Amino acid sequence: MKLYEYEAKEIFLEHGIPVPEFRVVSTPEEALKAAEEIKGRVVVKAQVLVAGRGKAGGVKLADTPEEAYRYAKQMLGSEIKGEKVNKVMVTKAVDIARELYLSIIIDRSMGQPVILSSPEGGVDIEELARTRPERILKIPVDPLIGLREYSAREAARFLELGEQSKQAQDIVSRLYEVFLKYDCELAEINPLALSTDGKLYAVDAKIIVDDNALYRQQELSGDYLRDLSYYEAEAKKLNFSYVELDGNIGILCNGAGLTMATMDTVYVMGGKPANFLDIGGGARAELVEKALSLLLQHPKTEIIFINILGGITRCDEVARGIVEALKKNPVKKKLVVRLKGTNEEEGRKILEENGIYVFEFMDEAARKAVELGAKT
């Protein structure tokens, strides 16, 4: 579950992490008033749950309240990468001397939280890790022991701050408190800015909460469900994993690993997935029908690639679900289906009797989906 930037900053404030003064508004008039109250230059930032909003026009520096009004008017009601902008943040502009990076993530391979600290912020951390890994310090944290003071001190020292290291150490400790309290997969400050007057600020804030822990985060989860798109909310109700993406090829698989492998194969062959949809293991026909119906109704999906590796999931159940979904949703979309595993022959027969060709191998099926997607 991703939080909006303003939600993450509100949490940071509650835990003593310094952030620039800000207001969250939903009209241009409110943006004008907010800029007048804050005084001086402000930054108007669209509140959307997608990356790259700055390059898409979702972050603007305003020298006057009138400029803030104009930028808010442009952003509100617009779409950034398919997500509608309903709110903007008006925040005080910081005169930045240096940009740093600080985050805490769950490292799945290690099975524990890891602090990431870098004296270079405001950049793509994955690219930095690839090109100059020595500029990122990784400090594992034993979840049974918690954050040790010397680990926070080491992370702060790596930021090369000199006399501000003590303040940075305090921010590391407080960020870990946030990470634990909100069951985070990620708590990130990028950039952590050193201002020209020698103060540190979380200029940007990102929090991702573990979906499996939402039952412990009732205060957050209510707003989360309200702000989801129709398709994300429906998927949540049906209890399958669904993530919106930017492409036109709908992906429906069973198992997170197979879904990721299918998406990767589509990417490698030149296609762009429209979503990640994992129906899980042992899905019955009813769930398959509802999952496929969701993709058939989605305006972004032009091709739907169904890739099933049957173990506890029976291919005949999947086939019945596919047929039922097509009956209930007479939408003209092309399907590419690959079935393999338990009751494969029965499933193949059901689909072929309904005019649906079934592919033998994932690669050939993915190639066909990409080929069809390129023609739409």
- Active site residues per annotation: 101, 188
Residue whose entry in the numeric block shows the structure tokens 């739409």: 376
Tokens of 76: 């509100």
User: ω into residue 299 within 30 of 0, thus cis?
Assistant: no
- Residue 276's DSSP bridge partners are 243
- What size, in residues, is the chain? 376
* 274: exposed, middle or buried (Cβ count in 10 Å: 0-12, 13-18, 19+): buried
**CB contact at 8 A, 104 and 114:** yes
Tokens of 102: 């600080």
Neighbour tally for 376: CB within 10 Å: 10
Tokens of 248: 């036109």
Residue whose entry in the numeric block shows the structure tokens 């086939």: 319
